[in-house]
Amino acid sequence: MTGNRVLTFQGPMKLEIKTIDYPKLEDPRGRKIEHGVIIKLVSTNICGSDQHIYHGRFEVPQGMVMGHENTGEVVEVGRDVERIEKGDLVSVPFNVSCGRCRNCKERHTDACENSYVNDLVNCGAYGFNLGGWQGGQADYMLVPYADWNLLKFPDRDQAMEKILDLTLLSDILPTGYHGCIEAGVRTGSTVYIAGAGPVGRCAAASARLLGASCIIVADRLRERLDLVKKCGYETVDTTSATPVPDQIEAILGEREVDAGVDCVGLEAHGYGEEDRDEHSEAVINVLFDIVRAGGAMGIPGIYTNLDPGAPKTDMAKKGELPLAFSKAWIKSPKLTGGQAPVMHYNRDLMMAILWDRMPYLREVANTEVISLEDAPAAYKTFSDGSPKKFVIDPHNMLKKAA
């Protein structure tokens, strides 16, 4: 192997395909790691979280390889790897975790104590400037702690038949599911999901799998709302002059829901016709308003401690949000934020897919397969509000499978 095509960040709204060296079994410090593998990317998706990087809202170094939603075929195995073999088809959780520290042993793989290389963060993720791990929007990538991190698909042929569903296991499906779990979604729950992007749509599918009754998805973009409506969910238009609680009441007969999920994060916008400017705190404050007393909120949407591209105020640029917490406190809410611990859920969700318990997942995900060369243009299309979920096919393996 002599080269590796990769999609690199060169600055806000600027991505370039470059060819770099084929990856080595080395960590970001350059230390040899025999517990790792090299995978050939079968699919690697463009995520809404990638958009925060693309917009210059989440700081990353110039030249970083993008991509944290990765599925691949193992092509090289370190000496200490025992359970993963060449040829295995695997899903790669976007969290980099060691399986050895206290947090990993307690299934908090989103906060691994050994996956980062400095004291600025306490977690690792591919293509995210979290631990220095390069992303997988590429031909090949390194995965450390392979026996621990990788989810092996039990049957390769069966997996390739469902690969456009299984490719969602690396992030957005477990993330949407995690948001629902932390919000307490269960049989009969009424649920408000902020954001009809791919994560929000996976959260809606997860709420359906968990047995929720009324599932309401909110967004400001008509194409996305039309898509989720077509898939059988209720919708709220956040640009409408009608306040969100009034729209919920028109659907549900009451102004509150049991559970709320934030699938937007920073770059959220204000509500109604009079305030469509960006207010990153907008979603959380609406959840404080519309989740019932004693209810819960899952906040898997990304918020960063530094937001250099934030508009308006120094407070926003520091990632500090003016939350209406005093308004919410009286309701005794539960709120859980942060990354989803993908390994907590991915095997169960894989089995649900393989046994057709999520038959409409591909419809609501609305995937479109593209080449690696088409990825920069797809980032722009996604940024403009496309309802598509773009899945990159570096080696034409998805096209061959189809």
Domains of the chain: 4-171+341-401 (3.90.180.10), 173-337 (3.40.50.720)
Beta bridge mates, 8: 16, 65
Type of residue numbered 31 = R
CA distance 195 to 217: 7
At 206, list the tokens: 């997860």
Of 155, 216, 178, which Cα lies nearest the Cα of 353? Answer: 155
The pTM (predicted TM-score) of the whole model is: 0.95
Of 389, 353, 386, which Cα lies nearest the Cα of 163? Answer: 353
Tens-of-pLDDT digits for all 402 residues of the chain?
Answer: 568 999 999 999 999 999 999 999 999 989 999 999 999 999 999 999 999 999 988 889 999 999 999 999 999 999 999 999 999 999 999 999 999 999 999 999 999 998 876 555 678 999 998 889 999 999 999 999 999 999 999 999 999 999 999 999 999 999 999 999 999 999 999 999 999 999 999 999 999 999 999 999 999 999 999 999 999 999 999 999 999 999 999 999 999 999 999 999 887 888 876 667 778 888 999 999 999 999 999 999 988 777 777 776 677 777 778 888 888 889 999 999 999 999 999 999 999 999 999 999 989 999 999 999 999 999 999 999 999 999 999 999 998 776
Phi, psi of 119 (to 5 degrees): -95, 10
